[in-house]
């Protein structure tokens, strides 16, 4: 069997682990660290699609390898869709995941509508062609953090149909139902079907 290499343009070890768990046997998946790229790739577009494409194009341009990149936003209904495309740096340039969580919780203090969704867009550049894959999960924002697993806003996101946050559910469950898991499943189905 011929193994094909593909780069996942991320420095986030959580994401690499999630992707490697579902990539399938035909592909060798490498992240930025594994190809020796230590650059913080710019994400300056104002849409998830634009940012995902920007990251994938950077890798293809510099490393000449097939690549995919993702961008995710948490959209909260009562915050008019914020933090959205600004999810990574919602509490400021050098903020931590905990800073972002605290900012969301304090902005939502006393709010009863706690509906939110995560959206992921993946841009794949395969043999020079660009393809997009999207995933979404709906849920509620809790009033305080619960759980130690995952990353980002996981401790305050309660997916619909579950009574535990993403940070409590564990990677296997999260991978099956999450925004990125769903987008990734579409990507993997495409890759494992020979790029069709």
Q: Is 152 in the site for ligand IMP (CB under 6 A)?
A: yes
Near ligand IMP by CB under 6 A: residue from 16, 66, 87, 175: 87
Q: Toward ligand IMP, which CB reaches closer, 66 or 72? A: 72
Q: Toward ligand IMP, which CB reaches closer, 26 or 96? A: 96
Part in contact with ligand IMP (CB under 6 A); list of ranges 33-41, 123-131, 134-142, 150-158? 150-158
Q: Is 70 in the site for ligand IMP (CB under 6 A)?
A: yes
Part in contact with ligand IMP (CB under 6 A); list of ranges 28-36, 56-64, 137-145, 147-155? 147-155
Pick from 69, 64, 75: nearest CA to 49: 69
Q: Is 177 in the site for ligand IMP (CB under 6 A)?
A: no
Residue 71 falls in the annotated catalytic set: yes
- Enumerate residues 6+ apart whose C-beta is below 8 A from 42: 54, 58
Q: Is 66 in the site for ligand IMP (CB under 6 A)?
A: no
Token duo for residue 95: 């903020």
**Crossing angle between the packed helical segments 179-192 and 13-22, to the nearest 10 degrees:** 50
Q: Is 154 in the site for ligand IMP (CB under 6 A)?
A: yes
- Enumerate residues 6+ apart whose C-beta is below 8 A from 160: 137, 138, 139, 140
- Enumerate residues 6+ apart whose C-beta is below 8 A from 7: 29, 30, 31, 32, 35, 59, 63, 65, 66, 67, 68
Q: Is 119 in the site for ligand IMP (CB under 6 A)?
A: no
Catalytic site residue from 71, 99, 160, 163: 71
How far is CA 190 from its chain centroid? 18
Contacts with ligand IMP by CB under 6 A lie at 12, 70-72, 74, 87-88, 97, 100, 150-154, 166, 178, 180
Which of the residues are catalytic? 71
């Amino acid at each position: 069997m011929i193994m094909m290499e593909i780069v996942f343009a991320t420095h986030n070890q959580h994401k690499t682990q999630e992707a490697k768990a579902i990539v399938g046997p035909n592909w060798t998946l490498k992240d930025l660290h594994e190809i020796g790229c230590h650059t913080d790739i710019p994400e300056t577009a104002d849409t998830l699609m634009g940012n995902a494409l920007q990251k994938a194009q950077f890798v293809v341009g510099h490393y000449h390898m097939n690549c995919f990149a993702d961008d995710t936003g948490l959209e909260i209904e009562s915050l008019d869709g914020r933090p959205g495309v600004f999810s990574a740096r919602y509490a400021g340039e050098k903020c931590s995941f905990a800073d972002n969580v605290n900012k969301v919780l304090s902005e939502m203090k006393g709010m009863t509508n706690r509906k939110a969704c995560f959206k992921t867009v993946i841009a794949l550049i395969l043999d020079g062609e660009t393809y997009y894959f999207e995933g979404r999960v709906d849920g509620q924002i809790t009033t305080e953090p619960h759980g130690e697993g995952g990353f980002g806003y996981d401790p305050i996101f309660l997916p619909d149909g579950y009574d535990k946050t993403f940070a409590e559910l564990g990677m296997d469950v999260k991978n099956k139902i999450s925004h990125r898991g769903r987008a990734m499943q579409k990507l993997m189905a495409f890759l494992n079907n020979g790029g069709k």
